[in-house]
A and B are shown apart, each in its own frame.
Chain A
Amino acid sequence: MKQVLETTGLVCPFPLVEAKDAMQTLESGDELVINFDCTQATESIPQWAAESGYPVTHFDRTGDASWTITVQKA
C-alpha cells in the first residue's frame, strides 16, 4: 500500500514531524510518499530514513524547490 503525505508549504521541521507520525500508522512493507518544499528536508528526511533502516525507493525533484521522496516501512 502507498500513502501520500502532502507537506508542501510546511516549513521544517514539520514535514519530518508529520512523516514520522504518518509512518506509525503504516504496516511493514507499506510506502509513504512525502511531497515537500522545505529545502532542509532534502537532508533531514533521507537522514531519518537511513537511521531508521527504512529504504528510500524513490527521491526526485518535482519542480523548482519541490521534491518527492518515497520511504518504505521496514
Chain B
Amino acid sequence: MIVTGLVVGLVLGFVFQRGRFCVTGAFRDLTLTGNTRWFSALIVLIAVHSAGLFLLGTLGVITLEESAFPWLASILGGLIFGFSMVLAGGCATGTYYRAGEGLVGSWFALIFYALVAAVMKTGPGAELTTGLRSITVENGTLQSSTGLSPWVFVAVIAAIAIALTVHHRRKQTVPLATLPPRKTGIAHLLTEKRWNPFATAAVIGVIATIAWPLSAATGRNSGLGITTPSANLSTYLTTGDSSLIDWGVMLVIGILVGSFIAAKASGEFRIRIPDKDTVIKSILGGTGMGVGAAIAGGCTVGNAMVSTAQFEYQGWVATFFMIVGAGIAVKTTIRTRQQTAAPAVAESRSA
C-alpha cells in the first residue's frame, strides 16, 4: 500500500506550507540574527518524534535498527548540505514546498538536487559516497555506546523541548500582527490563520511517527526521507525502472502536491520568476544539496528530524555541521549581498 506514502506526503506538504516550516531558516537564523525560535521548534519536533518512535518500538509495532556511525561522511556531507541549502534558499523539503508555491527558483533547485542525489547514490559518484560512508566507528547511537535505555534520552530531549517552549512563550509578550481574516471556521484555521511554529513542529513530529509503520508495512523499514526517494524518482524517470517507485517516492510527490494545494487554497500560489543571480544560486544550491545529502545519508528531514530522534550520532553530527555550513554561507553570501544592496535599498516617498 505505497499509496499511504502519497497521503502522508500530501498532509506533510500542506502542513509545511501553512506552518512556514523552514529548517534552513532555523539554522540560518542562529548565525544571521541569533534568533533561536525556529531551532527550538525543531527540538520540539525531534522530542515528539523520538517519544513516538521509541513508543512504537517498545510496543513492537516497528523495529529500529542500529548501525555504525559514518563520522567523516556526516561531517563533510553536513557541511556541504548546510552551505548549499542557504544558497538554494531552502533545504530539500523546503525546496519541495516552495516549488509547490510556484517559486521557479525552487524548481531549478529541486531538479538539480534530485538529479545530483542520484548521481551520488547510484551514478558515477556512488563510489565516492560509499567510500566516505564506509569510514565508521562502532555503536552508532547514544543508547548503544552508553548502554542506557533510550527512554533516558527521550526524557532529556523532552525536558529541553518543554523548557525551550516555555522560554519562547514567555519571551513573546506582544501578540504578532496577523492578516485581517476573510474566512471563518475550518477554512480560516486551515487556509488562512497563522500557525504557531511550536504547534506546527509538534504536528510534524506526530506525522513523522505515523509515517514509519505505514512505510514499514510496504517493506521500507524507515521513516520520513527525502533524498533517497528523490534520487529514486529521477532514476525512475530516466530508466523506467518501476521497482524504484516505493513509499518514499510517493511521499515526496505528495509533499509537492500537498504544498501546492495548501498554497492554492490560501491564495499563496503564484508563478514567481527569479532574477539571474537567484537562478544561479538555486542551481548551485540544489547541486550541493544533492551531494551533501547523499554523503551525509540524509537531509534536514532524514538526518535532522529522523536520525536525531533515534539518537544516532549521524543525525546529531550532520545537523551540527549543517548549522556550521549554513553559518559559513550566511557570512560569505548573505552579508555580502546586504552591503552591495544597501545603497539601492528603497525609494523614499513622503506620506
Interface residues of A (CB under 8 A from B): 1-6, 9, 11-14, 17-18, 21-22, 31, 37, 39-40, 42-44, 46-47, 49-51, 53, 56, 59-61, 63-67, 69
Which chain A residues lie closer than 8 Å to B334 at the CB level?
13-14, 17
Q: How far is the CA of A17 from the CA of B175 in the complex (A)?
A: 22
Stretch at the interface among B45-53, B134-142, B176-184: B176-184
Identify the closest chain B residue to A59 (Cβ).
B177
Task: Chain B residues near A11: list those with CB within 8 A.
Answer: 89, 103, 105, 274, 278
The residue among B32, B177, B179, B348 with the most chain A CB atoms within 10 A of its own CB is B177
User: Does B156 count as interface, using CB distance less than 8 angstroms?
Assistant: no
Q: A11-B89, A66-B270 are in contact. Are A2 and B174 (CB under 8 A)?
A: no
- B121 lies within 8 A of chain A by Cβ: no
Contacts A/B (CB < 8 Å), 25 sampled:
A1-B351, A2-B350, A3-B346, A3-B348, A4-B349, A11-B278, A13-B334, A14-B341, A17-B334, A17-B337, A22-B346, A37-B270, A40-B20, A40-B22, A42-B20, A43-B197, A46-B177, A46-B178, A50-B175, A59-B177, A61-B179, A63-B270, A64-B269, A65-B268, A65-B269
| Nearest chain B residue, comparing its CB with the CB of A48 | B33
Flag if B341 contacts A18 (CB, 8 Å). yes
A13 to chain B, nearest CB (A): 6
Q: In whole angstroms, how far apart are the Cα atoms of A55 and B17 in the complex?
A: 26
Centre residue among B172, B175, B179, B350 by max chain A CB count within 10 A:
B179
**B225 contact set on A, CB distance < 8 A:** none
B interface residues, tally (CB under 8 Å)? 47
Q: Confirm or deny: B146 has a beta carbon within 8 angstroms of a beta carbon on chain A.
A: no
The distance in angstroms between the C-alpha atoms of A9 and B275, with both chains bound, is 8
Contact A31 B346 (CB under 8 A): no
**Contact pick for B20, options A6, A21, A22, A43, CB 8 Å:** A43
Name 18 extra pairs, CB < 8 A, besides A39-B20, A43-B194, A61-B267.
Answer: A4-B348, A11-B89, A11-B274, A12-B22, A18-B345, A21-B338, A21-B342, A22-B345, A39-B268, A40-B25, A46-B176, A49-B177, A51-B35, A53-B174, A56-B177, A64-B267, A65-B269, A67-B179
| Chain A: CB-nearest residue to B273 | A9
Given A21-B345, A22-B345, are A65 and B272 neighbors across the interface (CB < 8 Å)?
yes
Closest to B89 in A: A11
- Identify which of A4, A63, A69 contacts B347 (C-beta below 8 A): A4
Q: Complex: how many Å from CA A69 to CA B32?
A: 22
Query: Separation in Å of the B302 CB from the closest CB of chain A?
Result: 22
A22 to B343, CA, bound (A): 10
Name A44's contact: one of B17, B25, B275, B337 (CB within 8 Å).
Answer: B25
